[in-house]
């Protein structure tokens, strides 16, 4: 079995590399923004039936609502993995997205639990961080057993094995930052717009996400097993509410990430003018050999790191990683200073900005950085 797993992962990575290169070439300015909408389950796969409601029907209605609104935009192309009550293999869903050279993949589902759990959560691809996340991924992934040729299509993959999830994230890591950004927009809309309980942005090894080579999210719009929440999600109003908030998040992502990072400040004939930010002075907290930065964005767009492109922020740096450009604000070994700069970035409108650390030119975790000795 170990040999089969290794073969599966090598085959997977070679295939994804091919699609990855195609996707990178597709990021032309004149290209329509392509969104693939995936209604979870369908046909013989009903999904969960909490409180007597059907996940497959609710997910489809929400997806069709999102698509109807997005299609009103002439520069957006919407592709569906299904528009009717049919069963679609997970690997086919990913293939549809890759062949469409999609800029986003959005999969909609409904949750279930043997408790009174309620609220929304949005998932991006990643290794399971705890046993609960692993169980969620395993539950969604086990749908492959309903597929006619699952042994052939997923040779070497065991949805019950944590080890087989490790290789599934390698290519998608290139898009993780963008996936998290979209997921955070979705969760914020649910919380602020609909007052739903926010269960957060989470990571797990979903097959339907690892099949895609673009920013991808899987949305759990609520728990059908919670009678009150299930009734809401099964209603026309609930489905329209969810569609509206997801649509809003996608449009915000398109504006702020895909086509740049917010409104550009026009400074004619003064391209080198920089706007300096000031912050209250704090005691230094210097970590030798460590460089802290604030990551404010990641995009396939190559944008000049000038203040007028980044809401007036100076000290912007740009690094190309795979098909993405990552944009950073600040460069310091002073942890207190970089925390202050993070607050400045957020105040400027980069709500999803976060801290990153580097040692000897290689990115390390913040936990590793802060374990080193202070001066």
pLDDT tens-digit series, residues 289-345? 899 999 988 776 788 888 878 888 889 999 887 667 889 999 999 999 999 999 998
Which band of pLDDT confidence, cut at 50, 70 and 90, is reported for residue 125? Answer: confident
In this predicted structure, the answer to whether residue 130 has a pLDDT above a threshold of 60 is no
28-80 pLDDT per residue, tens: 445 789 999 999 999 999 999 999 999 999 999 999 999 999 999 999 999 99
Residue whose entry in the numeric block shows the structure tokens 């004149």: 30
Q: How many residues are listed for the chain in this entry?
A: 375
Higher pLDDT, 149 or 93: 93
- One domain for residues 224 and 106: yes
- Pair (221, 360) in one structural domain: no
DSSP assignment string, 38-50: EE--BTTB----G
| Residue 346 φ then ψ, to 5° | -65, -35
Per-position b or e across 335-368, b if 16+ CB within 10 A of its CB: bbbbebbbebbeebebebbebbbbeeeebeeeee
- List, in order, residues 6 or more apart from 120 with CB less than 8 Å away: 187, 190, 191, 196, 197, 198, 199, 219, 220, 221, 222
Q: Is pLDDT at 249 greater than 70 in this prediction?
A: yes
Q: 98-118, pLDDT tens digit by residue?
A: 889 899 999 999 999 999 999
Model confidence at 128, pLDDT cuts 50, 70, 90, reads very low
Residue 355 lies in a domain: yes
Q: Using pLDDT thresholds of 50, 70 and 90, give the confidence band for residue 202.
A: confident
Same domain, 350 and 304: yes
CA torsion sign, 291 to 297 to 303 to 305? Answer: negative
Decide: 110 and 233 in contact? Cβ < 8 Å: yes
Q: What angle do CA 83, 85, 89 make, to 5 degrees?
A: 85
Does residue 92 sit within a domain?
Answer: yes
Q: Per the domain annotation, does 279 fall within a domain?
A: no
pLDDT tens per residue across span 140-187 = 545 444 445 544 444 444 545 544 444 444 444 557 778 888 999 999
pLDDT at residue 25, as a whole number: 37
pLDDT at 275: 31
Same domain, 44 and 123: yes
pLDDT at 206: 64
Q: Are residues 236 and 362 in the same domain?
A: no
Within a domain: 226: yes
The confidence band for 238, taking pLDDT boundaries of 50, 70 and 90, is very high
Which residues partner with 317 through β-bridges? 328
What confidence score (pLDDT) does residue 86 get? Answer: 96
Arithmetic mean of pLDDT, 201-212: 67
Residues 231, 367: one domain?
Answer: no
pLDDT bucket at 370, cuts 50 / 70 / 90: confident
Which of 258, 282, 309 is the C-terminal boundary of a domain?
A: 258
Residues 85 and 144 occupy one common structural domain: yes
Answer yes or no: is pLDDT of 214 > 60. Answer: yes
Would you say 177 and 298 are in contact if contact means Cβ atoms under 8 Å apart? yes
Identify whether 233 is part of a domain.
yes
Looking at residues 221-248, what average pLDDT do you find?
Answer: 97
Note whether residue 277 is domain-resident: no
Q: Is residue 282 part of a domain?
A: no
CATH number of the domain enclosing 318: 3.30.70.1070
pLDDT of residue 303: 84
Confidence (pLDDT) at 229: 97
CATH number, position 159? 3.40.630.40
Q: Torsions phi, psi of 308, nearest 5?
A: -70, -15
**Average pLDDT score, the chain:** 76
Question: Is it the case that residue 4 has pLDDT exceeding 60?
Answer: no
Same domain as 298, residue 254: no
Of 257-261, 262-266, 295-299, 333-337, least confident by mean pLDDT is 262-266
- Do 295 and 222 have their domain in common? no
Predicted confidence at residue 149, as pLDDT, reads: 52
Asked if residue 333 and residue 246 are part of one domain, the reply reads: no
Range of the domain at 303: 290-371
Q: How many domains does the chain have?
A: 2
- 254/310 same-domain check: no
């Amino acid at each position: 079995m170990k040999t089969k797993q290794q073969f599966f992962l090598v085959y997977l990575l070679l295939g994804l590399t091919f699609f990855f290169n195609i996707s990178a070439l597709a990021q032309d300015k004149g290209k329509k923004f392509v969104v693939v909408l995936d209604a979870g389950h369908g046909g013989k796969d009903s999904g969960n039936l909490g409180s007597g409601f059907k996940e497959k029907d609710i997910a489809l209605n929400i997806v069709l609502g999102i698509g109807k609104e997005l299609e009103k935009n002439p520069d957006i192309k919407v592709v569906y993995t299904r528009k009717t009550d049919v069963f679609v293999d997970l690997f086919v869903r990913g293939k549809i997205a890759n062949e469409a050279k999609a800029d986003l993949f959005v999969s909609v589902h409904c949750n279930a639990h043997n408790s009174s759990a309620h609220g929304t959560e949005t998932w991006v691809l990643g290794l399971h961080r705890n046993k609960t996340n692993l169980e969620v991924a395993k539950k969604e992934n086990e749908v492959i057993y309903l597929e006619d040729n699952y042994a052939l299509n997923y040779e070497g993959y065991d949805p019950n094995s944590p080890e087989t999830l490790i290789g599934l994230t390698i290519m998608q890591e290139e898009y993780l930052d963008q996936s998290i950004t979209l997921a955070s927009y979705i969760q914020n809309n649910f919380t602020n717009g609909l007052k739903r309980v926010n269960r957060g942005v989470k990571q797990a090894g979903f097959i339907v996400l690892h099949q895609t080579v673009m920013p991808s999210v899987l949305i759990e719009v609520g728990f059908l097993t919670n009678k009150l929440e299930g009734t809401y999600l099964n209603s026309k109003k609930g489905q329209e509410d969810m569609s509206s908030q997801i649509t809003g998040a996608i449009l915000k992502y398109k504006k702020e990430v895909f086509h740049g990072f917010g409104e550009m400040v026009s400074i004619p004939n003064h391209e080198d003018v920089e706007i300096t930010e000031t912050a209250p002075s704090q005691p230094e907290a210097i970590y030798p050999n460590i460089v802290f930065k604030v990551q404010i964005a990641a995009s396939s767009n190559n944008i000049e790191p000038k203040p007028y492109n980044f809401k007036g922020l100076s000290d912007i740096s740009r690094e190309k990683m795979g098909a993405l450009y990552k944009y950073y604000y600040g460069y310091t070994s002073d942890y207190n200073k970089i925390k202050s700069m993070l607050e400045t970035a957020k105040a400027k409108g980069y709500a999803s900005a976060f801290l990153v650390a580097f040692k000897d030119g290689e990115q390390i975790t913040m936990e590793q950085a802060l374990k080193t000795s202070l001066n």
